[in-house]
Amino acid sequence: MIDVEVLADADAVASRAAEEVAARARDAVADHRRFTFAVSGGNTPWAMFSELRSHDVPWDRTAIFQVDERVAPAGDQDRNLTHLTGSLPPGGPAEIHPMPVEDADLDAAAGRYSRSLPERFDLIHLGLGPDGHTASLVPGDDVLGVTDRDVALTEPYAGHRRMTLTYPVIDRAQRVLWLVTGEEKVDALARLRTGDVSIPAGRVRNPDQLVICDRAAAG
């Protein structure tokens, strides 16, 4: 099931997302003493982390993983990790688990990262591209058919190979949180909401999905 909340603008989306993440973190720690959160790239999640500075988050029991990452050097501005670490509040999460995209053997690195994942994430954040991609599950790539691994590699897409979580790990998360902003996402969001499997995002089958979007994306 996909629940949808439509808010005024991107700032409101970031603020509401911070509320959701903080609440999920507190609930997870109360239930099993650890909050596991996988984060995608994009501008909205970095704004969300800024908003989290004003919320009660049990950072000392929070572990953050990456949903996807570009194969690029450390510190590269194309790396999601560069922006993630730059947006986290001081004294942030106890654990940050970067995807090992600098390794020479990327296949072995993907396998190692897969083994570091929790059995079931408490929360996975996903974005949505205008072409309907999510994470680095991109149109036409063989990665869309990977069901025997939790972490896989793509062919070059928009200038980089990517390492990404696959559908099985996304589908077994406790909840998926979509953050979608901008009028260029109207068509992709409409197709996501109907479960259109012709776009990668429409293939996510997690039973608990929340979309927080702005009016521009909602059309």
26-46: pLDDT as tens digits: 999 999 999 999 999 888 888
Phi, psi at residue 190, to the nearest 5°?
-60, -40
Confidence of residue 57 (pLDDT cuts 50, 70, 90): very high
The average pLDDT across 101-128 equals: 97
Confidence of residue 159 (pLDDT cuts 50, 70, 90): confident
The average pLDDT across 20-28 equals: 98
Please check the confidence at residue 94 and state whether its pLDDT lies above 80.
yes
Domains and their CATH numbers in the chain: 2-218 (3.40.50.1360)
The pairing of strands 123-126 and 176-180 is: parallel
pLDDT above 90 coverage of the chain, percent: 87
Please check the confidence at residue 15 and state whether its pLDDT lies above 90.
yes
pLDDT, the chain, mean: 96
What pLDDT was estimated at residue 188? 98
User: Range with the lowest mean pLDDT among 68-77, 109-118, 176-185?
Assistant: 68-77
Please check the confidence at residue 143 and state whether its pLDDT lies above 90.
yes
Confidence of residue 75 (pLDDT cuts 50, 70, 90): confident
Kindly list the strands in the beta sheet with 151-153, ordered across the sheet, starting from the edge strand earlier in the chain: 68-70, 162-165, 151-153
Stated pTM of the model: 0.96
Please check the confidence at residue 1 and state whether its pLDDT lies above 80.
no
